[in-house]
Amino acid sequence: MSIKLTPIDSVDNISKEDFVNNYLNPRKPLIIRKATESWPALQKWTFEYLKEVVGDQTVPLYNSSKADPSKAINASATEMKFGDYIDLIQKQPTDLRIFLFDPIKHAPRLLDDYRSPSDLMGGFLDKYPNMFFGGAGSVTFLHYDIDLAHIFHTHFNGRKHVMLFDQKWTERLYCIPFATYALEDYDIENPDFTKFPALDGIEGQEAILEHGDTLFMPTGYWHWMKYLTGSFSISLRAWDKSWAIKAKSLYNLTVQRKFDNIMKARFKKEYMDWKEGLAIKRANNALLQAGHNIKNIFILLWGLFRYFECF
């Protein structure tokens, strides 16, 4: 029993034509090792530099605890001054993370230090970059981004373990209904296949991101990330050309999110228990369907063998 993981494709550099034909259009992940060679951030973005430009801003922090049923999915666990947090993640492991840090709001000087990879594709939301910080051992739970944007995720000052899964595995990853994250009761690094049998046999990709590496995650890709050392990343987002995906993004951000927050606030644990139960039911049904499909293929192949055996 296992999850089947293969390495994410990796290149030093890539032409627009190759990127569009081999990764953007087929929506396939890629690591570009030298995409940041021209970025001032590659050298400038040290922990001390970030402390200098951000200052004593108080920032919300997130931990690895299971989400409170009565709160929105992005509710923070605590808060701390940015400089104190940077000191913390340099000194010791911690599960505390900074999530969706806005450099425009908190430190506009940072905007001069990086470049959107517009030489590879268009549609970038240049006014909406996000930064993420984590201590050694901290984990970003398994999810896909609610806005369904393409993401260029660049890592700095450390190492991060990444796992990615295609949307076709959504149900077997125990996706929570009316949400874009998975059931939080299993460890994707070391799952209990007895309790979560739908995970057995799913296929994904993985890599270790180093300083300056840029990971291209196509729209809708499930991702799980673990900080191996205290470090940070920046995500640049770009719209997919598909109007159907844009419409689904708008639905996720408005109707679905609003409905889910209302139901959480009103029914709390009862609502979350129902959603988790439905996630398990759907995962088990998807596993049964996969087994049924394999059985049908075997029957078809056996029939063909018997047919040709007659000649």
Contacts of 43 (CB under 8 A, 6+ apart): none
Mean pLDDT (whole number) for 101-106: 87
Tell me what pLDDT residue 171 has: 97
Question: How far apart are the C-alpha atoms of 171 and 222, rounded to whole Å?
Answer: 12
Contacts of 215 (CB under 8 A, 6+ apart): 8, 29, 30, 31, 151, 152, 153, 154, 155, 162, 207, 209
| 31, pLDDT greater than 60 | yes
* 16: three-class secondary structure by DSSP: helix
66 confidence band (pLDDT: 50, 70, 90): confident
Contacts of 112 (CB under 8 A, 6+ apart): 40
| 308, pLDDT greater than 70 | no
139 confidence band (pLDDT: 50, 70, 90): very high
| 301, pLDDT greater than 50 | no
* Mean of pLDDT over the chain: 90
